[in-house]
Structure 1
Amino acid sequence: MNRNDLAEFLRDRRSKVLPHDVGLPGGGPRRTPGLRRQEVAQLAGMSVDYYIRLEQARGPHPSRQVLQALSRALMLTGDERAHLFNLACEAPVQPSAGPRQDVPPGILRLLSQMEEVPAYVVDARYEILAWNTMASALMCGLESVPVGHRNVVRWVFTHPGLPEHMSSELSSRFARLCVADLRAAAARYPGDRGIKDLVAEMLALSPDFARLWAAHEVAVRRDQPKRLEHPVVGPVDVVCQVLDVPDRDQRLVVYTVEPGSPSMAALRRLRETAAAGSAPVYVPGPA
Structure 2
Amino acid sequence: MGEFAQILRAWRDRVRPEDVGLAPGLNRRAPGLRREELALITGVSVDYIVRLEQGRAVNPSPQLLTSLTRALRLNDAERDHLFRVAGAAAPSSGLVPRQVTPSAQRMVDRFRNAPVAVAVHTAIYELVLWNPLWAVLFGDPSSQSRLERNVAWQHFAGSLPVTHTPEDDEAYSRDLVGHIRAASGRYPADPDIPRLIDRLVEASPDFARRWKAGTVGELRTSRKTLHTEQVGDVVVDCDTFSGGPGDQTIVVMTAAPGSEDEQKLDLLRVVGLQRLGS
- Within a 5 Å distance, the mapping from 1:71-90 to structure 2 comes to none
**Matched residue, 1:113:** 110
Question: Does the Cα contact within 8 Å between 1:245 and 1:252 map onto a contact in 2?
Answer: no
Question: Does the Cα contact within 8 Å between 2:132 and 2:272 map onto a contact in 1?
Answer: yes
Q: Displacement of 1:226 after TM fit?
A: 1.3
- Within a 5 Å distance, the mapping from 1:61-80 to structure 2 comes to none
Q: Aligned partner of 1:128: which letter?
A: L
**Matched residue, 1:127:** 126
Q: Displacement of 1:141 after TM fit?
A: 2.3
**Matched residue, 1:100:** 97
- Within a 5 Å distance, the mapping from 1:98-247 to structure 2 comes to 98-114=95-111, 115-116=113-114, 117-159=116-158, 161-162=159-160, 165-167=162-164, 169=166, 170-244=168-242, 246-247=244-245
With normalisation by structure 2, the TM-score equals 0.61
Q: Aligned partner of 1:236: which letter?
A: V
Q: Equivalent residue of 2:156, what SS?
A: helix
Distance 1:246 1:173, change over 3 A: closer
Q: Displacement of 1:265 after TM fit?
A: 1.4
Q: Displacement of 1:168 after TM fit?
A: 6.3
Q: Aligned partner of 1:104: which letter?
A: T
Distance 1:143 1:237, change over 3 A: same
Question: Does the Cα contact within 8 Å between 1:165 and 1:230 map onto a contact in 2?
Answer: no
Q: Equivalent residue of 2:220, what SS?
A: coil
Aligned residues: 183
Q: Equivalent residue of 2:139, what SS?
A: coil
Question: Does the Cα contact within 8 Å between 1:96 and 1:189 map onto a contact in 2?
Answer: no
Aligned-pair identity (%): 31
Q: Displacement of 1:241 after TM fit?
A: 1.1
Question: Does the Cα contact within 8 Å between 1:96 and 1:191 map onto a contact in 2?
Answer: no
Distance 1:206 1:191, change over 3 A: same
Which residue of 250, 263, 281 maps to 2:261?
263
Task: State how far apart, in whole Å, the 2-side matches of 1:261 and 1:213 are.
Answer: 39
| CA deviation string 1:228-275 (max 9, x = no partner) | 112222111111111236331001111011112221111011112112
**Matched residue, 1:74:** none
Q: Which has the larger radius of gyration?
A: 1
- Within a 5 Å distance, the mapping from 1:243-254 to structure 2 comes to 243-244=241-242, 246-254=244-252
With normalisation by structure 1, the TM-score equals 0.59
Q: Aligned partner of 1:156: which letter?
A: H
Structure 2: gaps of 5 or more residues: 1-91
Q: Aligned partner of 1:130: which letter?
A: L
Question: Does the Cα contact within 8 Å between 2:126 and 2:146 map onto a contact in 1?
Answer: no
Structure 1: gaps of 5 or more residues: 1-94, 280-287
Q: Displacement of 1:148 after TM fit?
A: 4.5
Stretch of structure 1 that moved more, 105-114 or 266-275: 105-114
